[in-house]
Structure 1
């Protein structure tokens, strides 16, 4: 091997690590070392998976039929249950053959982009965005084109913004509502406007709907295909059991799309991972076939924590805190804090601020740089009520707020 030979491929060397997982890992490592760190970084419910789902998995593990390879596309009963779920909840008719079960929502994201993007294509990416989207887009050779919506816009882009960013190379739009990292939820009218714009301009929509059941204040989730059924031939829906059913570790997601896209993604997955773990699929089947009562109790807890966190963060000088209406994140703007001295140190960026918060208040948050919008912080409220209050109280004290 020559001295200048590249050991790591340029494609993989260019990938940034997951900032959210990195923050969570650092918080857990400090806590394991004895530091009283409270983590606001992880995007996962703190609730255990419901007993009836666990029981289904236990029974599946004892069945020899689940000890063997199964179809790459996923177990037919699970795909049928997902279609029934869409019919019941969204009045959408989907063929089970147009559903592909994946190893978590992330695999669905990567395969969706891999299925339709080529080098030179552009993808409109509303920002703030989830950290994985730009990395998955870059791996295809396509380019992400951020379209920024700030706190004043409730973190929601408009058709005018999308049209201004569209070029002859625009192939797709990423649409995530409810949003990670902001908790923003597009209204039915806003969703319809964007869906119809995409239809008129031949733009694919990759719609990440994994937070669909975590909405508050009477807000309703709307799927792009509910308001624009004609968009089906240029839409890929992404979802999974992770957030709704507190099953992040089970790794079951899915993608739904036109027959040719699902065929291509299935072929890809057949070489990549083959089938998803059959025991996890059987657990997912129990989840999506059941009612949403367990989800409702979890959503009520999230709502309580959401209101508490927003109220407490708004007491900190310089924090601008929109009220999130979905998911389990609060995304305050902290630009008015930057450039000032805090706890004896001057902070210039939100990355600096997050590091200082971890050092001084011993709480872990994710800086806005990770989501394409410097000057913000993401707080997850998917942690216990007591830890939430304790953590934000420490932050308040760091900024001189008492009581």
Structure 2
């Protein structure tokens, strides 16, 4: 298979690299960076010819942009949930009015989104959601709790999966609602402090929050179909950008191993080679399945591969440091106990890689049932 970039895409790469070279570091505030991306025409590359994105790019060009973005060390995005998850879902399932209302502000970097899926009793088992949406005239009133909600403390809007039909169970009676976050007294956001010292995730409490009837995507009761469609967009082109970041982390660990002399340890050396080879395999697999609609297990396979790989990289990173002088993964200074270096952050944060976005157990079940055709796993009563 030919995984190369065609000659006509090189001009796109040169333009992307040049723009990133001028702007990375010049804009530091997160929302300002989103607006800079919008003004440069770099948001919405994969939305198609609907006229809502800034420019149209081929699948190869989207890969080029994602990889150049990672190579440039550009800031983590706070608008990616709107661009990469909600926008393609609206393109596929939204009404003309919903597209006209929500896509342009995302493309401009003006409105930020968060995802209201997981709950304390419905994380990996998303069909067990208990948050309820009750129709009251031209609005729905939403009551319940979401958890692990990335960027909820910054978001303007949240797309929420809620049970809109009383008495229904599991996949039935769910709706996909677009909810404004600026509702004091009706929506409360509580940051969750992680062991890295950061608070990227949040609990979100809905106490009679409203969503307009015309902001139900896909029609009332069709939330499960829309929600599953959205999850299909979660592991597309962005996977390749993620792997570019992984390659940079691996290169840093290799440099540290050389500097400390840990590379002379045959076990460390074997681990580095294995990680390098596995990362190359992940890239070829991602390119092979990119844009594929017929491989139901491809996203689950990819998640299994990179989740475990990234954890092993974090473990090796602190092992390499420890070989230099006994520096462990939690050896913070007494004056600044939560200031850690990149390797320590990698080790701690990667512990969650096999849980968030669908745990390894869930991914294996999906592969077993949907790809291998094995008997369905019994599901408990989640109400």
Give TM class, smaller chain: under 0.3
Structure with the greater relative contact order (CA < 8 A, sep ≥ 6): 1 or 2? 1
